Amino acid sequence: TGKFTYDPGFLSTAACQSKITYIDGDKGELLYRGYPIEQLATQCDFLETCYLLLNGELPNATQKTEFNGLVTRHTMVNEQMQFFLRGFRRDAHPMAVMTGLVGALSAFYHDSTDINNPQHREISAIRLIAKMPTLVAMAYKYGIGQPYIYPKNDLSYSANFMRMMFATPCEEYVPNDVLTRAIDRIFILHADHEQNASTSTVRLCGSSGTNPFAAIAAGVACLWGPAHGGANEAALNMLEDVQKMGGVEKIGEFIKQVKDKNSNVKLMGFGHRVYKNYDPRAKLMRETCHEVLGALGKTNDPILKLAMELEKIALEDEYFVARKLYPNVDFYSGIVQRAIGIPVSLFTAIFALARTVGWIAQLNEMIGDPEYKIGRPRQLYNGASKRDVVALDKR
C-alpha cells in the first residue's frame, strides 16, 4: 500500500533514540555511556557498570558504597517463591523457570506496580538487580535437588552469586578470585547491547504500562531463543557434538555441513546483526577463557582447543569471510562457564541476570522520553480481500 515502510527484522529502522549503548559494527567497537567496553571490563566491577547504565555516569566512591549497600539490602527473595518454584518439574529448563520466577515477582511488590512512576521503577530496578543472582542460583539448586543457599551480604555481588551456586549447608564454598572476576566480567560484557531482540521486547512490553517485573519477564522469554541469548548454550552443545564426532579432525566435515544451505546447521557463536568485524566482547571473553583455564590447570581442555581451531579455520574460509561472520561473545563464554562448573542449561539464565540492568536502563530511558507512546507497529496486509461467509453445509 506504500503507506508504511516495510522492514522485516528491523534491518534499517531505528525504533528509538538512545544515549545508553553505542556499537560501531564495522570497527568492532562497543561503548556503554561513552566508555569502551575494554576499559569497563578491566577497570570497573559489575555494580559500577550497573550504576553507569542506570545513571549515565560512573559512581564516585561514596555513590558506589551507597549503591552496593542498596542492592545488598534486597538480595533475599520472599520465602513464598520457594513454593512457587516447587511447582516446576525438577528437569524444567532454567529459562522456563526464570521466565516464571521473574514474572512472579510482580505478585509480591504492591508498592511499586506503576511503571510510569519513577520511584516505582527505581525500587523495582534495585530489587531486580539484587534478586536475579538469588533466583538463578535457586533455579540451579532446585534442578539438582540441593537446598537453597541464602545470600550472604558481606560478599561482593559476584562472589555472593558463586557461593549461592556452589556452597552447600555441609560445605562452605572457597572463593577463587580468578573465577569471581571471570563471572563478573561475563556480567559486564552482557549488561547491555542497545536495541537487540530482548531489549526491544522489554521496551514494547513496558510501553503498554504493564507491571515493571512483567516487562522484564518478557525480556527473559525473548532472550531464551538460540538466535539470541540461547546461543551460548547452543554454541557449547555444538562444540561438544563436534568433539563427539571426532574433535579437531572432524572440523572440515562439520564446516561443510554448516555451509550446506539445506543442512540447517549454523556455526553457533558466530555472526552478528551489527558486528561485521570482530565482536569486541568475544576478544575479552577469549582472554578470560585462557585466564580461567590457566587458573584451573585446564589449559589442555579439548573443547577450548577445538574452539580455537574451529575459529581459525572459519576465519580463513571464503564462506565466513564473504558474509563477515566472526565469533561473537557466546563463542567463548560457554567454555568459561563450563570450566567454572556452571551447567550448560544455566548459561542463558546467567545472561538474563546480567542483561536485566540493560533492560531496566532502556525502559527508564523510553518512559522518560517526552515522545514516548505505546509501541504499535503497522503492517502491510496481504491476506484475502473482503468476502462473505458461506453456510457450513455449502463449504
323 binds ligand CMC, rule: CB under 6 A: yes
Amino acid at 230: G
Q: Does 93 bind ligand CMC (CB under 6 A)?
A: no
Question: Is 91 considered catalytic here?
Answer: no
Q: Identify which of residues 167 and 314 has a Cβ nearer to ligand CMC in the complex.
A: 314
Measured between alpha carbons, how far is 194 from 266 in angstroms, rounded to an integer? Answer: 24
Q: Which is nearer to ligand CMC, 304 or 310 (CB)?
A: 310
Q: Taking the alpha carbons of 330, 335, 338, 342 in that order, is the dihedral positive or negative?
A: negative
- Residue 292 in contact with ligand CMC, rule: CB under 6 A: no
**Smallest distance, ligand CMC to C-beta of residue 328, A:** 4
User: Side-chain half-sphere of 394: how many Cα atoms within 13 Å?
Assistant: 4
Q: Of the candidates 28, 100, 143, 271, which one interacts with ligand CMC according to CB under 6 A?
A: 271
The phi and psi torsions of 132 (rounded to 5 degrees) equal -55, -45
Q: In angstroms, what CA-CA distances link 170 with 79, 147, 173?
A: 22, 10, 10
Q: Please state the closest distance from residue 31 (CB atom) to ligand CMC, in A.
A: 17
Candidates 45, 228, 272, 279; catalytic one: 272
List the interface residues with ligand CMC, window 180-219 (CB under 6 A): 196
Rounded least distance, CB 220 to ligand CMC, Å: 13
Binding mask 225-264 for ligand CMC (x = CB under 6 A): --xxx-x--------------------------x------
Concerning whether 279 is annotated as a catalytic residue, the answer is: no
User: Is 325 an interacting residue with respect to ligand CMC (CB under 6 A)?
Assistant: yes
Spatial separation of the C-alpha atoms in residues 296 and 285, rounded to whole Å: 16
Say which residues have a Cβ less than 8 Å from residue 54's Cβ, sequence separation at least 6. 125, 357, 360, 361, 364
Q: What is the DSSP letter of 360?
A: H
Tell me if 168 sits within 8 A of 140, measured CB to CB: no
Interacting residues with ligand CMC (CB under 6 A): 196, 227-229, 231, 258, 266-273, 323, 325, 328-330
Q: Which residues are catalytic?
A: 272, 330
